Structure 1
Amino acid sequence: MTHQTSQKSAAKLAIVTGGSRGLGRNTVLSLAKRGIDVIFTYNSNQAEAAATTAAAGELGRRAIALQLDVGDVASFDAFVGRVQEALAGIGAEKFDFLVNNAGTSHHGDFEKTTEAELDELFNVHFKGVFFLTQKLLPLIRDGGRIVNFSTGLTRITVPGSGAYAAMKGAVEVLTRYLAKELGARGIAVNTVAPGAIMTDFSGGMVRDNPEINRRVAEMTALGRAGEPDDIGPMVASLLSEDNRWVNAQRIEVSGGMAL
């Protein structure tokens, strides 16, 4: 009975890619507020990663930063080894939640998009999500959850965003297949598709350009552009037991854009 009690009281653990800034950072801290410890990845900015770790610590939770380029599949085996070391360091063997958030932006007309640009988008947004999830799957507990980030641009057509949106569309299809194939393990898999959010994504375009911000607000039912705090808490809620029966869904979190 004592062993069962300690199992129930143990903190849940999540892995969040791209957790040092923007929506990833907000997700890390939203999970921390719910009592969940986090391993998160960052690409190059150690200072931002350290700030996220410190912020989680102030909330009373542990956040461990690991460097990862999600577009470099060849590095994934070594990364999984580092995850296993991090888990062992906190007395765990497996984790509960995987949030595939890390990504890059791209704006360019179809006619001008190069093969190199398309390859980079594919490596980061689809191939990386596919194989990182595959490599981490043995470490995810049965009954766990996976959330893949997409974009409102898979529904709303904005010229110049076709290549980026197409990769996210592939992720949405992959999500449904993962939900079907992992159902036997009790693992729910969903897509979260944010609308236009005021972060440094795309060079801070929505946050820092008043004209774009105004246009976004005008096409949104709730009358403003989104903020990181509109997304992170929603993801944390989706990962909770309250939403255990939500599976294989694309959930747009946009305030009602382009209705």
Structure 2
Amino acid sequence: MTEQTADHRTPRATAPSGRIALITGANRGLGRRSAQHLAAAGTDLILTYRSHAEEAEEVLAHARELGRTAVAFRLDTTEPSAFPAFAEDVRSALREHWGREDFDFLLNNAGSAAMAPVAETTEEQVDLMYQVHFKGPYFLTQKLLPLIKDGGRILNFSTGLTRFTAENAAPYASMKGAVEVLTRYLAKELGPRGIAVNAIAPGATATDFGGGALRDDEQVRAHLGAVTAMGHVGDPEDIGSAVAALLADGTGWITGQRIEASGGMLL
């Protein structure tokens, strides 16, 4: 089943929660599934996408069918110079659509992969991974901090590859390791505001990320399933539902944590 045809598996909507989540890179993959699960749990959405505006429109349409208010903005998270204007766009959208000055959840999800052995990694690959996975989330979070509600949540997307290793993953995984350290520092700094900050670390998950091998290559899927306690690679639904659970009522006391959602990979 492809990413585009799996949407009907999203849980049924519940009563509105009154909460608003801002999710980067929400037009596809794990960001898309996270948005759908949060919408089904009654959360309104502010989404970003770098390209494929038609995919973002699909996510918006699905959320609106569930009775949610949802808007989307184009944002390239490798361009921090665009963040102040984006923050003002968010502020304006909050006032226009919700009559509010703040939102509840920030999900730093947008990302890409650069895979190479250390001996062959280029400066361009390292620079890109730094910009996408560390510098971008760092300064975007900084610009959005005044708009995050006291008592809200920040959830940073990491990877299982910070605990175990895989061939050619050093450029990508190293930056995600930095994200996990940033998560702890944010949790400490924002604790007085009651903002919980955590990192979710998916294991092997069947998306189009990194060329889609985990979704399309049965040999790769079988190999990774054999080293996973649950016996198979994850589905985007597994991560989307985990995200919704981590942002549900009753989990605000969890902060500064790396939470792996890998089905028990390489235990």
Fold in common (TM above 0.5):
yes
Aligned counterpart, 1:185 = 193
- Which of 36, 39, 47 in structure 2 is aligned with 1:40? 47
Deviations 1:226-253 (A, max 9, x none): 0011011111111122211111110000
Alpha-carbon distance in 2 for matches of 1:112, 1:82: 41
Alpha-carbon distance in 2 for matches of 1:205, 1:58: 32
Deviations 1:56-83 (A, max 9, x none): 1121112211100011111111111111
Secondary structure at 2:191's aligned position in 1?
helix
Residue 257 of structure 1: how far off its partner (Å) = 0.2
Aligned counterpart, 1:110 = 118
Aligned counterpart, 1:242 = 250
Matched, 1:99 2:111: no
Q: Which letter does structure 2 place at the counterpart of 1:112?
A: E
Please show how residues 77-88 of structure 1 align to structure 2 within 5 Å.
Answer: 77-88=84-95
Residue 159 of structure 1: how far off its partner (Å) = 2.2
Matched, 1:142 2:150: yes
Aligned counterpart, 1:119 = 127
Please show how residues 55-66 of structure 1 align to structure 2 within 5 Å.
Answer: 55-66=62-73
Deviations 1:167-226 (A, max 9, x none): 000000000000001000000000000001001111111001111111111110000110
Q: Which letter does structure 2 place at the counterpart of 1:86?
A: A
Alpha-carbon distance in 1 for matches of 2:212, 2:165: 20
Matched, 1:231 2:243: no
Aligned-residue Cα RMSD (Å) equals: 1.0
Aligned counterpart, 1:4 = none
Q: Which letter does structure 1 place at the counterpart of 2:94?
A: L
Please show how residues 22-37 of structure 1 align to structure 2 within 5 Å.
Answer: 22-37=29-44
Alpha-carbon distance in 1 for matches of 2:96, 2:77: 23
Q: Which letter does structure 2 place at the counterpart of 1:191?
A: A
Please show how residues 174-213 of structure 1 align to structure 2 within 5 Å.
Answer: 174-213=182-221
Q: Which letter does structure 2 place at the counterpart of 1:53?
A: L
Aligned counterpart, 1:19 = 26
Aligned counterpart, 2:9 = none
Whether the 8 Å contact between 2:206 and 2:233 is mirrored in structure 1 is yes
Task: Tell me the matched-pair count.
Answer: 251
Residue 10 of structure 1: how far off its partner (Å) = 6.8
Deviates more, 1:55-64 or 1:118-127: 55-64
Whether the 8 Å contact between 2:17 and 2:43 is mirrored in structure 1 is no
TM-score (norm 1): 0.95
Between the aligned residues of both structures, percent identity stands at 54
Q: Which letter does structure 1 place at the counterpart of 2:108?
A: N
Q: Which letter does structure 2 place at the counterpart of 1:44?
A: S
Aligned counterpart, 2:161 = 153
Task: Note the residue ranges of structure 1 that are not aligned, 5 or more in a row.
Answer: 1-8
Secondary structure at 1:231's aligned position in 2?
helix
Deviations 1:105-156 (A, max 9, x none): 1211111111111101101100001000000000001000000000000001
Stretches of 4+ moved more than 3 A in 1? Answer: none
